[in-house]
Amino acid sequence: MSTPSKKPRPDRQPAPSRQKPSKGESVTVEYIKAILFAVGLALVIRTFVVQAFRIPSGSMEDTLLVGDFLLANKFVYGAKIPFAEIRLPALSKPKSGDIVIFQYPLDPDRDFIKRVVATAGDTVEIRDKILYVNSQRAIDPPRSKYLDPRILSPHTSSGHRDHFGPEKVPEGHYFVMGDNRDNSEDSRYWGFLDHKWIRAQAFILYWSWTPDVDAPIYQNLSSIPKIFFYNLFHIPDRTRWRRIGMLIE
């Protein structure tokens, strides 16, 4: 009995070999991944956790000075989700004494920084420069100041600087003032601050830079080296070393 002959099996073709990336290519890919991760992490931190701000005016003197650079806590009040009117859960609400950064209600593209002096349900009144909350005289912050000895009449256009109310703070709103009481554009001028505008709570100074009227300013790209070397040379005398790392109160 003859056995059936087996059909010849076709020769197996070797699987195409995958070309391994060269050492230089793999290092480049790893660098790109690391950079993208770092950028993404920085964006997440800036959006939801902490953000840096610079003090451009003297409205919070002498608590905050022109040239102070600070970090602000965004998650404590519930950070906003970009491109949506939604906030993450807050750890707490702003309370009297907190220094908050917010979008200026009359121009939301600008950031302001002021101190909360009254919250929802409080009755605010200013008489002859003196702040009263719920009929009790409020204690001025330790580094606050008054530069103008005059008391403006409540019947003048600027009288609300030294006279206000009494008015009750509505629900979801705050009354904010600058520590430089005679030189601050705050709730006395544009009204109660809606919670939706609040961005963060100021908490620490990471740098402080004394203004210098002689410092070169940016004009074009060619001015950058001059600005860089001028500021580098003047770091020792322009830096307010004692303020670096100071908690904001």
Q: What is the CATH number of the domain that holds 183?
A: 2.10.109.10
Give the closest residue to 208 by CA, choosing from 55, 52, 50: 55
Confidence band (pLDDT; 50, 70, 90) for 49?
A: low
Give the closest residue to 66 by CA, choosing from 193, 176, 236, 207: 207
The domain total for the chain is: 1
State whether residue 170 is helix, strand or coil: coil
> Could you tell me if residue 233 is inside a domain?
yes
Question: Are the CB atoms for 76 and 92 separated by under 8 Å?
Answer: yes
Helices in 7-110 by DSSP H: which ranges?
A: 23-48
Query: What backbone phi and psi angles, to 5 degrees, belong to 248?
Result: -95, 125
Confidence band (pLDDT; 50, 70, 90) for 121?
A: very high
Question: Is 80 or 168 the better-scoring residue by pLDDT?
Answer: 168
> Could you tell me if residue 6 is inside a domain?
no
Give the closest residue to 141 by CA, choosing from 160, 116, 165: 116
Fill in the amino acid letter for 238.
R
Residue by residue, DSSP assigns 199-246 as EEEEEEEEEEB---TTS----SGGGHHHHHHHHHHTHHHHB-GGGTTP
**Token representation of residue 176:** 């904010």
> Could you tell me if residue 37 is inside a domain?
no
> Could you tell me if residue 33 is inside a domain?
no
> Could you tell me if residue 178 is inside a domain?
yes
Confidence band (pLDDT; 50, 70, 90) for 4?
A: low
> Could you tell me if residue 173 is inside a domain?
yes
> Could you tell me if residue 63 is inside a domain?
yes
Query: What's the mean pLDDT in 174-191?
Result: 95
Q: Give the residue numbers spanning the domain of 136.
A: 44-243
The pLDDT of residue 228 is above 80? yes
Q: Chain-wide mean pLDDT for the chain?
A: 85
User: Half-sphere exposure of 223 toward its Cβ, with a 13 Å CA cutoff?
Assistant: 6
Confidence band (pLDDT; 50, 70, 90) for 182?
A: very high
Confidence band (pLDDT; 50, 70, 90) for 5?
A: low
Residues 6+ apart with CB under 8 A from 207: 68, 69, 239, 244
Q: The tokens 């000075």 sit on which residue?
A: 65
Residues 6+ apart with CB under 8 A from 183: 58, 59, 61, 147
What is residue 151's DSSP assignment?
-
Query: What's the mean pLDDT in 149-173?
Result: 89
Q: What is the pTM of this model?
A: 0.78
Q: The tokens 């600087």 sit on which residue?
A: 161
pLDDT tens column, 183-200: 999 999 999 999 999 999
Residues annotated as part of the active site: 59, 114
pLDDT tens column, 34-43: 777 667 655 6
> Could you tell me if residue 228 is inside a domain?
yes
